[in-house]
Amino acid sequence: MTRWQPTDALVRGLALGVGLVVFGLVLHKVALVLFGTPLLLSTLIAIPVRGRRGTPRVSVRGVPRTGEIGAARAVVELDAGEGAEVIAVRVPDGRPGLGPVRVVAAGTREVEATIRRDAWGEGVELRPDHLAVGPDALLVYGPVTGVELGRVVLPPVAVLPAGLLPARASGLVGAHRAWRPGDSTELRDIRAFQPGDRLKRIDWRVSLRSGGLHVREHHAEADADVVLALDTRLDVGTRVGEWAVADQGVTIRPGGSLDVACRAAASLAAGYLRQGDRVGLVDLGRPQLGVRAGAGRRQLLRLRNQLVVCARSAGWAPRPVLAHRQVPHGALVVVLSPFLDAEVVEATVHAARRGNVVLAVDALPAPLVADPDPWGAGALAVIAAEHEVRLEAMRRHGVAVVRWDGGGGSIAGTLRQARSARRTVR
Protein backbone atom coordinates (compact mmCIF):
# COMPACT_ATOMS: atom_id res chain seq x y z
CA MET A 1 0.00 0.00 0.00
CA THR A 2 1.38 3.41 -1.00
CA ARG A 3 1.76 5.94 1.81
CA TRP A 4 3.82 8.95 2.86
CA GLN A 5 7.39 7.86 3.54
CA PRO A 6 10.46 9.66 4.87
CA THR A 7 13.24 10.48 2.47
CA ASP A 8 16.98 10.20 2.95
CA ALA A 9 17.10 13.94 3.65
CA LEU A 10 14.82 13.49 6.66
CA VAL A 11 16.86 10.57 8.00
CA ARG A 12 20.14 12.42 7.51
CA GLY A 13 18.82 15.61 9.12
CA LEU A 14 17.56 13.80 12.21
CA ALA A 15 20.63 11.60 12.54
CA LEU A 16 23.08 14.46 12.05
CA GLY A 17 21.21 16.84 14.35
CA VAL A 18 20.85 14.31 17.15
CA GLY A 19 24.46 13.18 16.74
CA LEU A 20 25.89 16.69 16.94
CA VAL A 21 23.84 17.56 20.01
CA VAL A 22 24.70 14.30 21.80
CA PHE A 23 28.39 14.48 20.98
CA GLY A 24 28.49 18.14 21.95
CA LEU A 25 26.95 17.39 25.38
CA VAL A 26 29.18 14.38 25.97
CA LEU A 27 32.38 16.10 24.88
CA HIS A 28 31.35 19.46 26.34
CA LYS A 29 31.73 21.09 22.94
CA VAL A 30 29.40 24.09 22.65
CA ALA A 31 30.15 24.48 18.95
CA LEU A 32 28.77 21.03 18.18
CA VAL A 33 25.59 21.78 20.10
CA LEU A 34 25.19 25.11 18.34
CA PHE A 35 25.53 23.40 14.96
CA GLY A 36 23.31 20.45 15.76
CA THR A 37 20.42 22.21 17.53
CA PRO A 38 19.27 24.37 14.55
CA LEU A 39 19.56 21.41 12.20
CA LEU A 40 17.52 19.18 14.50
CA LEU A 41 14.87 21.82 15.19
CA SER A 42 14.46 22.78 11.50
CA THR A 43 14.04 19.13 10.57
CA LEU A 44 11.41 18.54 13.24
CA ILE A 45 9.53 21.73 12.37
CA ALA A 46 9.55 20.94 8.62
CA ILE A 47 7.94 17.53 9.11
CA PRO A 48 4.33 18.00 7.86
CA VAL A 49 2.35 16.13 10.45
CA ARG A 50 -0.96 16.82 8.71
CA GLY A 51 0.53 15.93 5.33
CA ARG A 52 0.45 12.27 6.22
CA ARG A 53 -3.35 12.34 5.89
CA GLY A 54 -3.47 13.67 2.35
CA THR A 55 -3.68 11.15 -0.52
CA PRO A 56 -2.60 12.50 -3.90
CA ARG A 57 -4.88 11.53 -6.76
CA VAL A 58 -4.32 11.74 -10.50
CA SER A 59 -6.97 11.14 -13.14
CA VAL A 60 -7.20 11.59 -16.90
CA ARG A 61 -10.05 12.86 -19.03
CA GLY A 62 -10.38 13.53 -22.71
CA VAL A 63 -8.77 10.33 -24.02
CA PRO A 64 -11.10 9.02 -26.76
CA ARG A 65 -11.73 5.31 -27.07
CA THR A 66 -11.09 5.44 -30.80
CA GLY A 67 -9.26 7.95 -32.95
CA GLU A 68 -7.34 8.63 -36.11
CA ILE A 69 -3.63 8.54 -36.79
CA GLY A 70 -1.96 11.69 -35.51
CA ALA A 71 -2.03 13.81 -32.37
CA ALA A 72 -4.82 14.19 -29.84
CA ARG A 73 -5.29 16.17 -26.64
CA ALA A 74 -5.91 14.91 -23.12
CA VAL A 75 -6.06 16.53 -19.69
CA VAL A 76 -4.39 15.11 -16.58
CA GLU A 77 -6.24 16.24 -13.44
CA LEU A 78 -4.10 16.58 -10.29
CA ASP A 79 -5.02 16.59 -6.60
CA ALA A 80 -1.81 16.64 -4.55
CA GLY A 81 -3.61 16.48 -1.19
CA GLU A 82 -2.72 18.24 2.05
CA GLY A 83 0.91 18.57 3.06
CA ALA A 84 2.39 18.38 -0.46
CA GLU A 85 4.39 21.17 -2.03
CA VAL A 86 5.10 19.79 -5.50
CA ILE A 87 3.97 16.84 -7.57
CA ALA A 88 5.85 15.12 -10.37
CA VAL A 89 3.74 13.45 -13.07
CA ARG A 90 4.62 11.67 -16.30
CA VAL A 91 2.83 13.39 -19.20
CA PRO A 92 3.28 12.60 -22.92
CA ASP A 93 4.34 15.49 -25.12
CA GLY A 94 3.58 14.15 -28.60
CA ARG A 95 6.79 12.16 -29.00
CA PRO A 96 6.99 8.34 -28.93
CA GLY A 97 6.81 6.78 -25.50
CA LEU A 98 5.01 7.59 -22.28
CA GLY A 99 6.52 11.07 -22.12
CA PRO A 100 8.83 12.97 -19.76
CA VAL A 101 8.23 13.77 -16.10
CA ARG A 102 6.89 17.25 -15.32
CA VAL A 103 7.23 18.84 -11.89
CA VAL A 104 4.47 21.30 -10.99
CA ALA A 105 3.28 23.03 -7.85
CA ALA A 106 0.84 21.22 -5.61
CA GLY A 107 -1.86 23.79 -6.39
CA THR A 108 -1.88 22.90 -10.09
CA ARG A 109 -5.17 21.24 -11.01
CA GLU A 110 -4.72 20.38 -14.67
CA VAL A 111 -1.88 19.55 -17.03
CA GLU A 112 -2.39 19.18 -20.78
CA ALA A 113 -1.02 16.10 -22.51
CA THR A 114 -0.43 15.48 -26.22
CA ILE A 115 -0.82 11.88 -27.29
CA ARG A 116 0.32 10.83 -30.74
CA ARG A 117 0.25 7.62 -32.74
CA ASP A 118 1.63 7.22 -36.24
CA ALA A 119 0.38 3.66 -36.70
CA TRP A 120 -3.12 2.23 -36.46
CA GLY A 121 -4.13 -0.47 -34.01
CA GLU A 122 -4.37 -0.84 -30.26
CA GLY A 123 -1.77 0.67 -27.94
CA VAL A 124 -1.12 2.41 -24.64
CA GLU A 125 -1.30 6.16 -25.01
CA LEU A 126 -0.82 7.51 -21.50
CA ARG A 127 0.27 6.27 -18.07
CA PRO A 128 0.26 9.05 -15.48
CA ASP A 129 2.96 7.89 -13.06
CA HIS A 130 3.24 10.43 -10.25
CA LEU A 131 5.14 11.31 -7.08
CA ALA A 132 4.05 13.86 -4.45
CA VAL A 133 6.72 15.65 -2.40
CA GLY A 134 6.22 17.32 0.99
CA PRO A 135 7.94 20.46 2.40
CA ASP A 136 11.72 20.49 1.96
CA ALA A 137 11.45 17.04 0.28
CA LEU A 138 11.44 15.31 3.68
CA LEU A 139 8.38 13.17 2.93
CA VAL A 140 7.24 11.67 -0.38
CA TYR A 141 4.16 9.83 -1.53
CA GLY A 142 4.99 7.26 -4.17
CA PRO A 143 6.20 6.77 -6.81
CA VAL A 144 2.81 5.51 -8.00
CA THR A 145 2.46 3.66 -11.30
CA GLY A 146 -0.56 5.10 -13.08
CA VAL A 147 -3.27 3.18 -14.86
CA GLU A 148 -2.45 2.53 -18.50
CA LEU A 149 -4.89 4.27 -20.80
CA GLY A 150 -5.03 3.32 -24.45
CA ARG A 151 -7.17 3.94 -27.47
CA VAL A 152 -7.89 2.20 -30.73
CA VAL A 153 -6.45 4.05 -33.71
CA LEU A 154 -8.57 3.12 -36.72
CA PRO A 155 -7.08 2.20 -40.10
CA PRO A 156 -6.77 5.30 -42.29
CA VAL A 157 -9.19 5.92 -45.13
CA ALA A 158 -7.96 7.03 -48.55
CA VAL A 159 -10.30 8.87 -50.91
CA LEU A 160 -11.08 6.56 -53.82
CA PRO A 161 -12.84 7.21 -57.13
CA ALA A 162 -16.26 5.66 -57.54
CA GLY A 163 -15.99 2.25 -59.16
CA LEU A 164 -18.36 0.36 -61.44
CA LEU A 165 -20.10 -2.22 -59.26
CA PRO A 166 -22.54 -5.02 -60.05
CA ALA A 167 -25.96 -3.96 -58.77
CA ARG A 168 -28.27 -5.95 -56.57
CA ALA A 169 -31.81 -4.79 -55.88
CA SER A 170 -32.02 -4.20 -52.15
CA GLY A 171 -34.16 -1.06 -52.52
CA LEU A 172 -36.11 0.95 -55.03
CA VAL A 173 -33.33 3.38 -55.86
CA GLY A 174 -29.58 2.92 -55.83
CA ALA A 175 -26.36 4.18 -57.35
CA HIS A 176 -25.63 1.41 -59.89
CA ARG A 177 -27.23 0.08 -63.03
CA ALA A 178 -29.27 -3.09 -62.75
CA TRP A 179 -30.08 -5.53 -65.57
CA ARG A 180 -33.84 -5.03 -65.25
CA PRO A 181 -35.66 -2.02 -66.78
CA GLY A 182 -36.48 0.91 -64.54
CA ASP A 183 -36.52 4.69 -64.18
CA SER A 184 -32.89 5.72 -64.25
CA THR A 185 -31.29 8.18 -66.68
CA GLU A 186 -29.25 5.55 -68.59
CA LEU A 187 -30.90 4.38 -71.81
CA ARG A 188 -31.47 0.63 -72.09
CA ASP A 189 -33.50 0.23 -75.29
CA ILE A 190 -36.09 1.82 -77.60
CA ARG A 191 -39.06 -0.42 -78.30
CA ALA A 192 -42.59 -0.25 -79.64
CA PHE A 193 -45.31 1.20 -77.47
CA GLN A 194 -47.22 -1.34 -75.36
CA PRO A 195 -50.38 -0.98 -73.28
CA GLY A 196 -49.43 0.28 -69.83
CA ASP A 197 -46.46 2.39 -70.93
CA ARG A 198 -46.40 5.96 -69.70
CA LEU A 199 -46.88 8.71 -72.23
CA LYS A 200 -43.85 10.64 -70.95
CA ARG A 201 -41.62 7.80 -72.12
CA ILE A 202 -42.63 8.17 -75.76
CA ASP A 203 -39.69 9.08 -77.99
CA TRP A 204 -41.45 11.39 -80.48
CA ARG A 205 -38.45 11.74 -82.76
CA VAL A 206 -38.21 7.98 -83.35
CA SER A 207 -42.00 7.66 -83.49
CA LEU A 208 -42.30 10.27 -86.26
CA ARG A 209 -39.58 8.62 -88.35
CA SER A 210 -40.96 5.11 -87.96
CA GLY A 211 -44.64 5.92 -88.26
CA GLY A 212 -45.53 4.20 -84.95
CA LEU A 213 -45.25 5.00 -81.28
CA HIS A 214 -41.97 4.02 -79.60
CA VAL A 215 -40.89 4.46 -75.97
CA ARG A 216 -37.53 4.86 -74.34
CA GLU A 217 -36.66 2.15 -71.83
CA HIS A 218 -34.07 2.87 -69.11
CA HIS A 219 -32.07 0.73 -66.75
CA ALA A 220 -33.15 0.44 -63.15
CA GLU A 221 -30.89 1.76 -60.41
CA ALA A 222 -30.22 -0.41 -57.39
CA ASP A 223 -27.89 -0.67 -54.44
CA ALA A 224 -24.91 -3.03 -54.48
CA ASP A 225 -23.68 -5.44 -51.82
CA VAL A 226 -19.93 -5.57 -51.30
CA VAL A 227 -18.17 -8.23 -49.23
CA LEU A 228 -14.59 -7.51 -48.17
CA ALA A 229 -12.81 -10.84 -47.61
CA LEU A 230 -9.67 -10.18 -45.54
CA ASP A 231 -6.90 -12.77 -45.41
CA THR A 232 -5.43 -12.53 -41.89
CA ARG A 233 -3.58 -15.85 -42.02
CA LEU A 234 -0.33 -14.30 -43.28
CA ASP A 235 1.47 -11.05 -42.55
CA VAL A 236 4.67 -10.64 -44.54
CA GLY A 237 6.93 -7.68 -45.20
CA THR A 238 9.29 -6.75 -47.97
CA ARG A 239 12.24 -8.75 -46.56
CA VAL A 240 11.74 -12.41 -47.35
CA GLY A 241 14.25 -13.51 -44.72
CA GLU A 242 12.09 -11.99 -41.95
CA TRP A 243 8.82 -13.68 -42.90
CA ALA A 244 9.27 -16.37 -40.25
CA VAL A 245 10.25 -13.88 -37.52
CA ALA A 246 7.52 -12.07 -35.59
CA ASP A 247 7.98 -8.38 -34.85
CA GLN A 248 8.11 -7.67 -31.12
CA GLY A 249 5.89 -5.02 -29.60
CA VAL A 250 3.62 -4.45 -32.61
CA THR A 251 0.35 -6.02 -33.69
CA ILE A 252 1.15 -6.06 -37.40
CA ARG A 253 4.19 -5.34 -39.52
CA PRO A 254 4.21 -1.67 -40.61
CA GLY A 255 3.98 -1.72 -44.39
CA GLY A 256 3.36 -5.48 -44.41
CA SER A 257 0.70 -7.38 -46.31
CA LEU A 258 -1.86 -7.25 -43.48
CA ASP A 259 -1.27 -3.52 -43.01
CA VAL A 260 -1.80 -2.93 -46.74
CA ALA A 261 -4.88 -5.16 -46.82
CA CYS A 262 -6.54 -3.45 -43.84
CA ARG A 263 -5.86 0.02 -45.22
CA ALA A 264 -7.29 -1.03 -48.58
CA ALA A 265 -10.35 -2.57 -46.92
CA ALA A 266 -11.05 0.59 -44.91
CA SER A 267 -10.67 2.79 -48.01
CA LEU A 268 -12.86 0.57 -50.17
CA ALA A 269 -15.52 0.38 -47.47
CA ALA A 270 -15.59 4.16 -47.13
CA GLY A 271 -15.89 4.62 -50.91
CA TYR A 272 -18.72 2.13 -51.34
CA LEU A 273 -20.63 3.29 -48.28
CA ARG A 274 -20.37 6.85 -49.51
CA GLN A 275 -22.29 5.74 -52.63
CA GLY A 276 -25.04 4.25 -50.50
CA ASP A 277 -23.99 0.61 -50.96
CA ARG A 278 -24.02 -2.13 -48.36
CA VAL A 279 -20.62 -3.38 -47.19
CA GLY A 280 -19.76 -6.41 -45.07
CA LEU A 281 -16.53 -7.99 -43.82
CA VAL A 282 -15.37 -11.61 -43.81
CA ASP A 283 -12.23 -12.80 -42.00
CA LEU A 284 -10.95 -15.73 -44.05
CA GLY A 285 -8.92 -17.10 -41.15
CA ARG A 286 -11.52 -16.62 -38.41
CA PRO A 287 -15.07 -16.47 -39.82
CA GLN A 288 -16.59 -15.63 -36.42
CA LEU A 289 -15.03 -12.15 -36.63
CA GLY A 290 -17.00 -11.13 -39.70
CA VAL A 291 -19.44 -8.23 -39.92
CA ARG A 292 -22.79 -8.44 -41.69
CA ALA A 293 -23.42 -6.12 -44.59
CA GLY A 294 -24.82 -2.73 -43.71
CA ALA A 295 -24.91 0.87 -44.86
CA GLY A 296 -24.26 4.29 -43.42
CA ARG A 297 -21.53 6.04 -41.44
CA ARG A 298 -22.05 3.81 -38.43
CA GLN A 299 -21.30 0.77 -40.57
CA LEU A 300 -17.98 2.33 -41.61
CA LEU A 301 -17.04 2.88 -37.96
CA ARG A 302 -18.04 -0.69 -37.16
CA LEU A 303 -15.96 -2.07 -40.02
CA ARG A 304 -12.86 -0.06 -39.12
CA ASN A 305 -13.06 -1.19 -35.49
CA GLN A 306 -13.49 -4.78 -36.60
CA LEU A 307 -10.42 -4.52 -38.83
CA VAL A 308 -8.41 -3.74 -35.70
CA VAL A 309 -9.92 -6.78 -33.99
CA CYS A 310 -9.10 -8.98 -36.98
CA ALA A 311 -5.51 -7.72 -37.06
CA ARG A 312 -5.13 -8.34 -33.32
CA SER A 313 -6.38 -11.93 -33.69
CA ALA A 314 -4.45 -12.62 -36.90
CA GLY A 315 -2.64 -15.91 -37.18
CA TRP A 316 -2.15 -18.91 -39.38
CA ALA A 317 -5.15 -21.04 -40.30
CA PRO A 318 -4.87 -24.11 -42.54
CA ARG A 319 -7.73 -23.23 -44.88
CA PRO A 320 -9.51 -19.95 -45.60
CA VAL A 321 -13.28 -19.98 -45.16
CA LEU A 322 -15.47 -18.12 -47.65
CA ALA A 323 -18.78 -19.96 -47.48
CA HIS A 324 -21.81 -19.34 -49.63
CA ARG A 325 -23.84 -18.10 -46.64
CA GLN A 326 -21.30 -15.33 -46.03
CA VAL A 327 -21.81 -13.77 -49.48
CA PRO A 328 -25.21 -12.38 -50.56
CA HIS A 329 -26.38 -13.38 -54.00
CA GLY A 330 -25.06 -11.01 -56.66
CA ALA A 331 -22.62 -9.26 -54.31
CA LEU A 332 -19.18 -8.03 -55.30
CA VAL A 333 -16.53 -10.02 -53.43
CA VAL A 334 -13.21 -8.25 -52.82
CA VAL A 335 -10.52 -10.66 -51.62
CA LEU A 336 -7.55 -8.88 -50.00
CA SER A 337 -4.57 -11.20 -49.64
CA PRO A 338 -0.88 -11.60 -50.56
CA PHE A 339 -1.90 -14.84 -52.36
CA LEU A 340 1.07 -16.87 -51.18
CA ASP A 341 -0.74 -20.22 -51.01
CA ALA A 342 -3.09 -22.20 -53.23
CA GLU A 343 -5.90 -22.42 -50.65
CA VAL A 344 -6.82 -18.73 -50.81
CA VAL A 345 -6.71 -18.87 -54.62
CA GLU A 346 -9.08 -21.85 -54.57
CA ALA A 347 -11.51 -20.03 -52.26
CA THR A 348 -11.43 -16.99 -54.53
CA VAL A 349 -12.12 -19.05 -57.65
CA HIS A 350 -15.01 -20.87 -55.94
CA ALA A 351 -16.60 -17.50 -55.13
CA ALA A 352 -16.39 -16.57 -58.83
CA ARG A 353 -17.92 -19.90 -59.89
CA ARG A 354 -20.94 -19.20 -57.68
CA GLY A 355 -21.81 -16.28 -59.95
CA ASN A 356 -20.32 -13.36 -58.03
CA VAL A 357 -18.07 -10.73 -59.53
CA VAL A 358 -14.81 -11.24 -57.65
CA LEU A 359 -12.00 -8.72 -57.34
CA ALA A 360 -8.66 -10.00 -56.02
CA VAL A 361 -6.58 -7.22 -54.44
CA ASP A 362 -2.93 -8.27 -54.26
CA ALA A 363 -1.56 -6.95 -50.94
CA LEU A 364 1.94 -8.42 -51.27
CA PRO A 365 4.46 -5.64 -50.54
CA ALA A 366 6.72 -4.67 -53.42
CA PRO A 367 9.53 -4.81 -54.20
CA LEU A 368 10.55 -7.90 -52.25
CA VAL A 369 14.10 -8.03 -50.88
CA ALA A 370 15.96 -11.34 -51.02
CA ASP A 371 17.70 -12.85 -48.01
CA PRO A 372 21.46 -12.16 -48.08
CA ASP A 373 22.40 -15.86 -47.86
CA PRO A 374 23.56 -17.68 -51.06
CA TRP A 375 20.08 -19.15 -51.67
CA GLY A 376 18.17 -15.91 -51.09
CA ALA A 377 17.98 -14.77 -54.72
CA GLY A 378 16.87 -18.19 -55.91
CA ALA A 379 14.18 -18.46 -53.23
CA LEU A 380 12.90 -15.00 -54.13
CA ALA A 381 12.69 -15.95 -57.82
CA VAL A 382 10.66 -19.07 -56.96
CA ILE A 383 8.30 -17.10 -54.70
CA ALA A 384 7.73 -14.44 -57.37
CA ALA A 385 7.12 -17.06 -60.09
CA GLU A 386 4.62 -19.01 -57.96
CA HIS A 387 2.87 -15.80 -56.99
CA GLU A 388 2.45 -14.75 -60.62
CA VAL A 389 1.17 -18.22 -61.51
CA ARG A 390 -1.55 -17.93 -58.86
CA LEU A 391 -2.62 -14.51 -60.09
CA GLU A 392 -2.78 -15.74 -63.67
CA ALA A 393 -4.83 -18.75 -62.60
CA MET A 394 -7.40 -16.44 -61.00
CA ARG A 395 -7.54 -14.29 -64.15
CA ARG A 396 -8.26 -17.35 -66.29
CA HIS A 397 -11.19 -18.23 -64.03
CA GLY A 398 -12.77 -14.78 -64.46
CA VAL A 399 -11.39 -13.10 -61.34
CA ALA A 400 -10.35 -9.48 -61.74
CA VAL A 401 -6.86 -9.05 -60.27
CA VAL A 402 -5.41 -5.69 -59.24
CA ARG A 403 -2.45 -4.63 -57.13
CA TRP A 404 -3.26 -2.11 -54.43
CA ASP A 405 -1.45 1.15 -55.20
CA GLY A 406 -2.71 3.12 -52.20
CA GLY A 407 -5.28 5.10 -54.15
CA GLY A 408 -7.40 2.47 -55.85
CA GLY A 409 -7.22 4.25 -59.19
CA SER A 410 -6.98 1.04 -61.20
CA ILE A 411 -9.90 -0.69 -59.50
CA ALA A 412 -12.62 1.08 -61.50
CA GLY A 413 -11.07 0.12 -64.83
CA THR A 414 -10.48 -3.47 -63.72
CA LEU A 415 -14.08 -3.87 -62.57
CA ARG A 416 -15.32 -2.36 -65.82
CA GLN A 417 -13.34 -4.89 -67.84
CA ALA A 418 -14.55 -7.75 -65.65
CA ARG A 419 -18.16 -6.71 -66.08
CA SER A 420 -17.76 -6.36 -69.84
CA ALA A 421 -16.30 -9.85 -70.01
CA ARG A 422 -19.22 -11.31 -68.03
CA ARG A 423 -21.69 -9.50 -70.27
CA THR A 424 -20.02 -11.00 -73.36
CA VAL A 425 -20.24 -14.49 -71.88
CA ARG A 426 -23.93 -13.98 -71.15
Distances (CA, A) of 321 to 125, 289, 337: 35, 12, 13
Nearest residue to 365 via CA among 343, 384, 381: 384
Distances (CA, A) of 313 to 37, 306, 354: 67, 10, 29
Q: What is the pLDDT of residue 248?
A: 62
Confidence of residue 51 (pLDDT cuts 50, 70, 90): very low
Average pLDDT on 347-353 reads 94
Residues 53-153, CATH architecture: Sandwich (2.60)
Ranges in the chain annotated CATH 2.60.40.3670: 53-153
Confidence of residue 53 (pLDDT cuts 50, 70, 90): low
Q: 168 pLDDT exceeds 50?
A: no
Q: What is the pLDDT of residue 421?
A: 55
Distances (CA, A) of 96 to 29, 116, 183: 59, 7, 56
Q: What is the pLDDT of residue 43?
A: 74
Q: Is the peptide bond before 92 cis (omega within 30 degrees of 0)?
A: no
Average pLDDT on 321-335 reads 89
Count of CA atoms in the C-beta half-sphere (13 A) of 15: 7
Q: Mean pLDDT: which of 153-162, 318-327, 415-424 is highest?
A: 318-327
Average pLDDT on 279-294 reads 94
Nearest residue to 257 via CA among 383, 352, 124: 383
Least confident of 24-33, 69-78, 106-115, 356-365: 24-33
- How do residues 260-277 score in pLDDT, each as one tens digit? 999 999 999 998 888 888
**255 CB-near residues (< 8 Å, 6+ apart):** 237, 238, 365
Domain 225-425 indexed as CATH 1.10.1760: no
Ranges in the chain annotated CATH 3.40.50: 225-425
Confidence of residue 170 (pLDDT cuts 50, 70, 90): very low
Would you tell me how many other CB atoms lie within 10 Å of the CB of residue 303?
A: 23
Q: How far apart are CA 120 and CA 96, in angstroms?
A: 14
Q: How far apart are CA 340 and CA 261, in angstroms?
A: 14
Q: 343 pLDDT exceeds 60?
A: yes
Confidence of residue 171 (pLDDT cuts 50, 70, 90): very low
